[in-house]
């Protein structure tokens, strides 16, 4: 339900069949015009247009047509607005956390591959130094060296990207802590950041 305050001096007339929530006073004046919805306690509809005066507050279960929206001002539910800000911050920070975690995992996987290539290179170099080594063995050592260097560069690049992603997450957390300190603890808890 969206809550509004009537701002038009002439008031506002809502079309028939608009689902609205009424205060006890509003209901007492309109009881003969409205019917409560069976599955939605406190929400009413009318077969007729319903009029509201200047400064009256109403809650409507629909978007107002643009022509009617000019006659009201939204009543902001501070708790709902704060919850929306918190939810958005959690979603944005969670996306950064996931990106940092993924980048860290990818860097670890690539580092493990580079370490395996290093072991193969060590073995291939030892074989190539053997006095009975032929050109094929020496060539294998060269290939192993190239594969290790390629894997090592890929791992180093991934580690840099993981560090950047982690730094971006930490910077975003610092901004939230500075701008919304009351939400910071709940956000950290929701993201399980300790």
Domain limit, last residue, from 48, 75, 102 = 75
Hey, which of 12-16, 51-55, 160-164 has the most confident mean pLDDT?
Answer: 160-164
For residues 42 and 21, the answer to whether their CB atoms sit within 8 Å is yes
pLDDT interval class at 157 (50, 70, 90):
very high
pLDDT of residue 167: 92
- Range of the structural domain that residue 129 is part of: 79-190
Given a cut of 70, whether residue 81 has pLDDT beyond it is no
Q: For residue 183, what pLDDT is reported?
A: 73
Find out whether 110 and 155 touch, Cβ atoms under 8 Å: yes
pLDDT above 90 (res 117): yes
Q: Do 38 and 126 belong to one domain?
A: no
Is residue 17 located within the same domain as residue 110?
A: no
Do 63 and 96 sit in the same domain of this protein?
A: no
Q: How many angstroms separate the CA atoms of 89 and 95, rounded?
A: 10
Q: Which of 65, 77, 64, 54 is nearest to 6 (CA)?
A: 54
pTM of the model: 0.54
Are residues 19 and 114 located together in one domain of the fold?
A: no
Whether 17 and 38 share a structural domain: yes
Which among 75, 95, 125 is the end of a domain? 75
Among 17, 48, 75, residue at a domain's last position: 75
């Amino acid at each position: 339900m969206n809550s509004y305050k009537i701002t038009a001096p002439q008031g506002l007339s809502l079309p028939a069949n608009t689902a609205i929530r009424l205060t006890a006073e509003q209901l007492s004046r309109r009881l003969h015009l409205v019917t409560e919805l069976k599955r939605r306690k406190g929400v009413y509809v009318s077969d007729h247009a319903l009029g509201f005066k200047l400064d009256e507050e109403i809650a409507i279960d629909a978007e107002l047509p643009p022509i009617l929206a000019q006659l009201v001002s939204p009543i902001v539910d501070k708790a709902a607005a704060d919850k929306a800000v918190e939810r958005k911050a959690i979603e944005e920070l969670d996306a950064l956390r996931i990106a940092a975690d993924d980048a860290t995992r990818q860097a670890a996987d690539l580092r493990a591959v580079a370490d395996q290539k290093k072991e193969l290179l060590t073995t291939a170099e030892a074989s190539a130094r053997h006095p009975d080594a032929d050109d094929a063995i020496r060539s294998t050592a060269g290939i192993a060296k190239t594969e290790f260097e390629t894997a090592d560069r890929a791992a180093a690049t991934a580690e840099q990207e993981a560090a950047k992603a982690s730094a971006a997450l930490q910077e975003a957390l610092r901004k939230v802590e500075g701008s919304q300190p009351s939400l910071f603890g709940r956000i950290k808890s929701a993201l399980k950041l300790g």
